Each structure stands twice: as C-alpha cells, then as structure tokens.
C-alpha cells in the first residue's frame, strides 16, 4: 500500500549544515546504528528553524482505536530561538484527526501535542532519546485510544486563540436571542486583551460598541480538535458537522431583531461578536461533563454581517430584508478572530475558587475600615462571603496606602464609599454592598439608617480599634445582632478577636474585661501590649500622627482574621482568641475560655462581675480560714454609662493583719503590682476598690467596722470623683457588693446561696 506524505518545510541539508543544538543532537541520535525504533530520513533548514525528518516505529495493536500505522514519518521543527517547543508534524497525508492535536492555519500536516508542561520547564530535561521515545508513546497511546486519561480534563473542540476576551458573568443566562445583547469592548495594549462591559465606560476610556449573539450547539464528545475557522462560512461548516445550523440560526435571529425594531443605528453600526456554547461528553451516552465557550469577533458590523449572509440589503440607510434569504451569501466575507473567553468573577465563582462548599451570605455591618478592617473585609469579599454595609466616616489619606486595601487612585475619597464600589466591581454584584459614610457614634442625619442597618444585620463587626466604639456597639445599640470585635495591638504583633455568643448572653464589654484578666494571668499572653516604639507625623496638625505598623503583620493577621470570622459564624458560643506573631513570622493561637457574667443594678450604678472572679475570692477565703483575708479589686469604671467592671484581685499583701474576726489590708508591694497590671493591660484594668472575707458561719452582712471602712473608701475614691466599692465573701457561696453612698448601699448576691 502506497503512503503519501505531505511536504516538509525547508531545503535539504546535511547534519553539518544544521545550526540548532537540539536538532543536531536528534539527527546524530537517529543516525546511530543502535537506534532500533527510529531512523533519520533527511535534514532540512529554513530561515528560522532546523527540520529533522525521521521514521519512528510505534507499538500498535491489531485493532487500533485510531488508524495509526506501525511506522509513521515525523518532522521535528526546531526554532533557532529555542523559545518554544519543537513542533512535531505527522507527515502522512491521511493521518487521522485524533485527540491532542495542535491547531494550525493549514490542517495538514497534523501537529502532535506532545507535552502539557511549559517549554521553559521542559527544556531543562530535554534530550533527543527522550524526545523520540515521547513521540513513540504518543503514537502508541493514540492507537490504543488511551492518550487522554479518564482523570484528565476534556479536550477542547477548537483551539488557537488570537486573543482573550472577558465577558459578563450573566451573559449566558440572560441571552435568549430575543433581543440583541449590547456591550462595550475596551482593549489593553500592547496585547490583544478585550474586556466586555455592560455599561459604556466613562471618558476618556475608548470603547467599541458590540452586539453579542449567543448560540448553543448539541453536546459533543470531546477529543477531536478542529482547524480554527477564519470566516463565518468556515465556522458554520464546523458546526454543521457538529449537528448545528449556526448560519440558519444567525440569519433567523437577525431578521427577528429587525422585525422587533431592535436594530437602531447604534446597534447596526456595532461590531458583531458570536459566542458559541457547546456542552462536552467524555463518552457517548453520558451526561455533559463540562462546557466549551468560544467567542468570535467579526470584522463586520451587524449591518454588514446581515448583508454578507443574505439576510438583507442596505439602501439609503435603511435595511431591506429579503423575503427569501440569499443562500449564495454564506458569510465567506465575514472574517473572524477566535478569542479565548473568560467570565467576570462573581460570587459563585469566588466561592468555588476559595474552596468553599456553599454560599455564606450573612448580612454584615462592618465598622472601621482602616488597615486591618479594609484587608479583612476585602479578603472575605474575594471569597464570596457576606452581604456588607461598610460604615466609616474617614477619608483615605496618602499615608494609609502603606497598609490599606485601597490604592492611590482612591486618595481623598471616603473609605466606606470606595470599599463598597470596589467590592461591587470585584464580584459584579451591586446588591450585596452598600456604605454609610458617618461616625457610627454620631450618625446625625443618618441615625435612622444606621439604626435600621444594625438591627437587621446578622453580624455587627467592629474593626475600629476603639474601646469607645466597642462599648457603644455593645451597650447603646438596640439590636439583637451578634457583635464581634477585631483589633491589633499597637505594634501589630498580636491579633485579638472578641466574639459574643449568638444569644448575646455574653456581651463585648464583658469579654473585653475577661480578655484584660487573661493578659495579666495567662503566661501565654505575657508581653501582649508592647510599648509602641515611635509614631510618625503625616501632616501639620498636632493630631496628624500615625502608628509605625508593618504591612506584612497587618496582612498576616488580616488573613487569620478572615478565616476566624468564618469560624465564628459556624459557632453559637462566645470566644476570646489571641494570635501572636513572633519576629520570624511564626503565629501561635491562644484561646481564653469565657465565663458567665452577672450584671446587677445598685442605685444608679451597674455592677458587672463574672464567675471566675467570684470563685477566686472564695478560694482565697477558704485558704485563709479561720482567719479573714482580703485584697484590692481590679477592674474598670465606665463613668459615662455608670458601669463598674470587677475583674480580678491582688491577694492580701504580706504585711496585712489577718485574724479570725479582723482583717487590715497591708500595702507592701501593692503599688508596684497595681501599676504593673495597668501597664500590661494598656490601662484596661486599674484599682477600683477593696474586698475582704467573713469567717466561717458568717454571711455577707456588713459589720460596723465594714461600714467604717466603706466610709473611708468613699472619701478616698471621692477625691477622683469615683464611688466607693467593697465586696464581702461569706458562707454558703455568697459574695456581696456595696457601691456608692451609705444611705442607699445595696446588697448584690453574685452567686446564689446553695441549698
């Protein structure tokens, strides 16, 4: 049987006339007598490449899936620049159309796709014997129908793109064909990269109006790659072979648009773009596994395309459709460029790309969009998480750019506004993001909107790094929404998350106090508040100063915080978590177990203490029985809201007097310890009062001596405008608290008596 071969490029040359090292190595390998599976036919040279023609023997089964001959003639074309892989041509004229072929302008000779990896990676390991063996494997596996493995992605039906185009994500959903899809193309130079916009970009951006016609063809089995069509007629022929009358559908659509009066002058003068959707099967009879989408940009306007396909003729600016389509005009003059389409990022795709299984879209009111807040929010937006209202009255300043998610073009704009707009553009969802550019504590004319937003949110996320804002959100906002506070320590080394439980039985201010106690008592958090080394001035005002805070630490903790927010939303319990980064970038997580808190009214004061404090007082009492004992109380006054937080105690100093019926607190080392607590908590805890225990068998009713001590406390604390505060621990698990003036001193039973 005679075998006919296609002509190979170049003129015949000797091995000595070759100039490409890889081509020389291949020719020499093929010339060796020991090579039993391949033999050199001839060498050729062109102006740009060396060409090696050789016969290669492959292991072909008796009944091949594809008609691969036992011996095939191959041409290897080695470019002199060595910047791309050698092209491998099967020279047999009737070489079959099989999977894993490269597209060429001419269909024959067919080009074998040998490698998936980039040539820059391949060339480090390329040798002539390995090249020959790879050709043999390609031929053998193709003959057996096993070149494309079952776990590999499906092959495209078309390949060989002239450029890239980005299409709106909802284009395929909204394109029914009833009305022309009007879009605008912008191009990035110098590469051919086109972006389709639903709205005309504002000046001075240059855009090209286009009309997009979307077509769907029947599902096809993958693996047979076609030659790239250069005209509408060739494209129609490709799809006719696939069982789809593309040309007929386009003609009918153009005529329908004219009949519906949908073709105004702008539409007629717009370029026509064809988007083809083709579901792909791995094997016949199976359900479609994936979908190919192609975009063809025509060199014709919509009006010209109608003329060149025999739908109408143009006369004096009017379209005159033919009663019967002129079938002689099949689009040969409608030239095409095949573009590789991608779709804009949307929430669904963002969720998949971030490895999430479902769409988590809680409504989030985000307060504070500084360095940490902006990066946390944008991390979560990129992952498709949440519907957001951004709340911040601050404007982006140049110095913010060192650590902010926004960039230089946004300087001078309100952070909340730009964050919302950037989020919309990022995932192309106008409904999921809004903003309120006000101070949340002083919303003025936006008060009602702020109130409605905080009431309707699933999560109020405080990233303001302000105790005032945190207290306001915790205590002054009428909303059942869960609150979470995120902030960095001044040096940026530690990240803190305080999260209320879903029922808000533990509030942010209570978690704040337990966090302060942990700083003092937990060894793992030692040195949490490091002194800030320096601050920098960015303007002329005395207030124009900012922290020195490394961006890498902000980015590190923003990534951790983003994941932590997701974790919080999957749990109903309260949490206190601290992440500590060391100088080498290692991060250690410390979890502090929250405990329940009691709030009691005492005159015009609210006293807040938790079970861990009460338990500690009882343990100290038990240790010193039968004597009385005591110490100072640590906590915090919120004078604006008349709240006192009792958090911890410094036990009885060593110079104290402890008798069965008398306790006189000493003072040795007490000032040093109190100042250390204040310093370690960055002023979060301070001295607030005294406590002592009663002997066994005695409950917490104050004695005459207790009342004298309380009067002394009133005088002492009154010097600073603070109330006297005294706690008494007694039998049966009782702890009583006394605050304020003697004439309205109230008893607060923080732990009910047992039995």
Range with the poorest average pLDDT among 88-92, 291-295, 532-536: 532-536
What confidence tens digit (pLDDT) does each residue in 392-407 have? 999 999 999 999 999 9
Instruction: Give me the pLDDT at residue 437, please.
Output: 97
Q: Are strands 363-367 and 459-462 parallel, antiparallel or unpaired?
A: parallel
Please determine, for residue 727, whether its predicted confidence score (pLDDT) is greater than 60. Answer: yes
Q: With respect to residue 209, please indicate whether it lies within any of the assigned structural domains.
A: yes
In a domain, 539, yes or no: no
Q: Are 633 and 689 in contact (CB under 8 A)?
A: yes
Using 50, 70 and 90 to split pLDDT, how confident is the model at 749?
A: low
Domain CATH code at residue 576: 3.40.50.720
**Please, which pLDDT band fits residue 545 given cuts at 50, 70 and 90?**
very low
Whether 212 contacts 183, CB under 8 Å? yes
Q: How many domains does the chain have?
A: 4
Give a yes or no: residue 536 inside a domain: no
Q: Which of 273-277, 317-321, 334-338, 381-385 has the highest mean pLDDT?
A: 381-385
Which residue among 344, 376, 408 closes a domain? 344
* Distance of alpha carbon 140 from alpha carbon 69, whole angstroms: 10
Assess whether 50 and 187 both reside in one domain.
Answer: no
3-state secondary structure of 75: strand
The last residue of one of the domains, among 276, 311, 344, is: 344
Taking only the tens place, the pLDDT of each residue in 18-64 is 999 999 999 999 998 777 899 999 999 999 999 999 999 999 998 88
Residue range 686-704, pLDDT digits in tens: 999 999 999 998 888 888 8
Is-cis flag, bond preceding 269, omega within 30?
A: no
Considering the domain architecture, whether residues 27 and 140 belong to the same structural domain is answered as yes
Average confidence (pLDDT) over 581-597: 94
Q: What is the mean pLDDT of the chain?
A: 88
Q: What would the pLDDT profile of 604-628 be if each residue is shown by its tens digit?
A: 899 999 999 999 999 999 999 999 9
Residues 586 and 611 in one domain: no
Structure tokens at 452: 């409605």
- The CA-based angle 315-317-318, given to 5 degrees, is 65
Q: What is the pLDDT of residue 752?
A: 45
Pair 454, 509 in one domain: yes
Contact by Cβ (8 Å): 215, 249: yes
Measured N-to-C along each axis, helices 670-680 and 508-521 cross at an angle, to the nearest 10 degrees, of 120
Answer for the pair 618, 691: CB distance below 8 angstroms, yes or no.
no
Query: Do 549 and 488 form a contact (C-beta atoms < 8 A)?
Result: yes
Rounded distance, CA 724 to CA 603, Å?
Answer: 13
Residue 547's pLDDT band (cuts 50, 70, 90): low
Together in a domain, 583 and 607 = no
For residue 697, what are the domain limits?
597-744
pTM beyond 0.85? no
pLDDT value at residue 152: 45
Q: Tell me the Ramachandran region of residue 121: left when phi exceeds 0, alpha when psi lies from -120 to 50, beta otherwise.
A: alpha
Residue 158 lies in a domain: no
| 486 and 565 both lie in a single domain | yes
Q: Quick one: tokens of 548?
A: 């020195």
Q: Quick one: tokens of 745? A: 């001193």
Q: Token pair for residue 538? A: 């960015």
Q: Which of 162, 183, 182 is nearest to 299 (CA)?
A: 162
Which pLDDT value is given to residue 518? 97
Rounded-to-integer distance, Cα 620 and Cα 741, Å: 28
Q: Which residue has the higher pLDDT, 128 or 733?
A: 128
- For residues 189 and 87, membership in a common domain is answered with no
Hey, what are 700's tokens? 């917490």
Residue 337 confidence (pLDDT): 87
CA dihedral 570, 571, 577, 581 (to 10 degrees): -20
Kindly list the distances between the CA atom of residue 190 and the CA atoms of 163, 164, 197, in Å, as whole numbers in the listed order. Answer: 11, 13, 20
pLDDT range class, residue 293, cuts 50, 70, 90: confident
Q: Check whether 146 has a pLDDT greater than 80.
A: no
For residue 592, what are the β-bridge partners?
A: 576
- Please, which residues bridge with residue 545 across strands? 537
* Bigger pLDDT: 558 vs 280: 558
Question: Are both 79 and 177 inside the same structural domain?
Answer: no
Same domain (yes/no): 365, 393: yes
98 assigned to some structural domain: yes
Nearest to 89 by CA among 155, 12, 13, 7: 7
Q: Which of 555, 576, 592 is the last residue of a domain?
A: 592
Q: What is the pLDDT of residue 534?
A: 58
- In whole angstroms, give the CA distance from residue 66 to residue 97: 9
Domain contains 154:
no
Phi and psi of 698, rounded to 5°? -115, 135
Express each pLDDT in 172-228 by its tens digit: 876 566 788 889 888 876 557 888 888 888 878 888 899 999 998 888 765 555 567
Maximum CA extent, the chain: 123
Do 555 and 446 sit in the same domain of this protein?
yes
pLDDT band at 540 (very low <50, low <70, confident <90, very high): very low
User: Given this model, what pLDDT does residue 101 score?
Assistant: 82
Confidence of residue 102 (pLDDT cuts 50, 70, 90): confident
Q: What is the CATH number of the domain that holds 58?
A: 3.10.110
Q: Is residue 516 part of a domain?
A: yes
Peptide bond preceding 626 in cis form (omega within 30 of 0): yes
**Res 223: pLDDT:** 54
Mean of pLDDT values over 145-152: 58
CATH code of the domain containing 652 = 3.40.140.10
291 and 263, same structural domain?
Answer: yes
408 and 553 together in one domain: yes
Q: How far is CA 229 from CA 159, 390, 444, 452, in A?
A: 10, 49, 63, 57
Burial class (CB in 10 A: 0-12, 13-18, 19+), 653: middle
What is the pLDDT at residue 396?
Answer: 95
In a domain, residue 246? The reply is yes
| pLDDT score of 79 | 96
Question: What digits encode the pLDDT tens for the residues 506-538?
Answer: 999 999 999 999 999 999 998 998 876 555 544
């Amino acid at each position: 049987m005679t075998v006919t071969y296609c002509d190979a490029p170049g003129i015949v040359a000797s091995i000595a006339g070759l100039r490409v090292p890889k081509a020389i190595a291949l020719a020499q390998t093929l010339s060796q007598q020991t090579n039993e599976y391949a033999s050199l036919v001839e060498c050729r040279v062109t102006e740009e490449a060396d060409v090696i023609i050789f016969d290669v023997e492959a292991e072909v089964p008796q009944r091949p899936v594809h008609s691969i001959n036992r011996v095939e003639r191959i041409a290897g074309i080695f470019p002199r620049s060595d910047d791309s892989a050698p092209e491998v041509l099967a020279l047999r004229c009737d070489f079959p159309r099989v999977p894993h072929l490269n597209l060429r302008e001419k269909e024959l000779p067919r080009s074998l796709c040998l490698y998936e990896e980039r040539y820059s990676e391949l060339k480090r390991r390329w040798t002539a014997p390995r090249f020959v063996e790879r050709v043999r494997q390609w031929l053998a596996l193709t003959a057996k129908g096993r070149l494309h493995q079952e776990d590999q992605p499906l092959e495209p039906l078309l390949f060989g793109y002239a450029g890239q185009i980005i299409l709106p994500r909802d284009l395929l959903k909204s394109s029914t064909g009833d009305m022309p899809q009007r879009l605008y193309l912008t191009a990035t130079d110098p590469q051919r990269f086109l972006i389709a916009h639903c709205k005309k970009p504002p000046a001075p951006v240059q855009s090209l109006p286009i009309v997009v016609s979307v077509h769907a063809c029947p599902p096809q089995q993958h693996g047979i790659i076609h030659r790239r069509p250069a005209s509408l007629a060739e494209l129609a022929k490709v799809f006719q072979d696939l069982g789809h009358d593309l040309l007929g559908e386009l003609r009918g659509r153009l005529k329908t648009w004219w009949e519906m009066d949908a073709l105004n002058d702008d539409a007629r003068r717009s370029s026509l773009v064809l988007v083809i959707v083709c579901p792909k099967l791995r094997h016949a009879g199976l359900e479609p596994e994936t979908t190919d989408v192609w975009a063809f940009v025509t060199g014709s306007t919509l009006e010209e395309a109608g003329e060149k396909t025999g739908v109408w003729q143009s006369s004096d600016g009017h379209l005159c459709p033919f009663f019967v389509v002129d079938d002689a005009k099949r689009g040969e003059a409608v030239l095409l460029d095949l573009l590789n389409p991608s779709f804009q990022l949307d929430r669904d795709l963002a969720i998949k790309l971030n490895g999430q299984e479902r769409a988590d879209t809680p409504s989030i009111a985000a307060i504070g969009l500084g360095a940490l807040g902006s990066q946390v929010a944008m991390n979560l937006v990129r992952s498709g998480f949440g519907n957001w209202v951004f709340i911040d009255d601050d404007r982006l300043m140049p110095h913010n750019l060192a650590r902010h998610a926004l960039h230089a073009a946004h300087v001078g704009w309100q952070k909340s506004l730009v964050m919302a707009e950037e989020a919309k553009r990022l995932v192309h969802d106008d409904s999921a993001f809004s903003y309120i550019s006000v101070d949340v504590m002083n919303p003025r004319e936006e008060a009602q909107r702020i109130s409605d937003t905080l009431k309707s949110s699933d999560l109020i996320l405080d990233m303001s790094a302000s105790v005032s804002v945190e207290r306001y959100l915790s205590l002054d906002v009428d909303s059942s929404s869960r609150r979470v506070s995120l902030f960095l320590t001044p040096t940026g080394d530690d990240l803190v998350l305080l999260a209320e439980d879903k029922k808000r039985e533990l509030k942010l201010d209570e978690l704040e106090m337990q966090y302060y106690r942990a700083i003092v008592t937990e060894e793992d958090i030692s040195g949490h508040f490091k002194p800030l080394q320096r601050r920098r001035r960015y303007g002329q005002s005395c207030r124009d100063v900012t922290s020195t805070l490394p961006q890498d630490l902000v980015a590190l903790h923003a990534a951790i915080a983003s994941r932590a927010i997701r974790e919080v939303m999957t749990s109903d319990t309260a949490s206190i978590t601290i992440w500590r980064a060391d100088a080498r970038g290692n991060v250690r997580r410390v979890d502090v177990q929250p405990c329940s808190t009691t709030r009691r009214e005492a005159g015009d004061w609210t006293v807040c203490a938790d079970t861990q404090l009460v338990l500690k007082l009882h343990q100290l009492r038990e240790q010193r029985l039968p004597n009385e004992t005591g110490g100072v109380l640590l906590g915090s006054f919120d004078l604006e809201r008349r709240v006192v937080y009792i958090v911890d105690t410094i036990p009885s100093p060593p110079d104290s007097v402890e008798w069965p019926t008398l306790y006189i607190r000493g003072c040795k080392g007490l000032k040093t310890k109190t100042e250390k607590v204040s310093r370690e908590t960055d002023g979060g805890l301070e001295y607030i009062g005294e406590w002592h225990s009663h002997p066994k068998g005695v409950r917490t009713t104050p004695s005459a001596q207790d009342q004298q001590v309380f009067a002394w406390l009133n005088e002492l604390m009154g010097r600073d405008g603070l109330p006297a505060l005294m706690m008494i621990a007694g039998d049966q698990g009782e702890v009583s608290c006394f605050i304020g003036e003697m004439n309205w001193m109230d008893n607060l039973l923080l732990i009910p008596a047992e039995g």
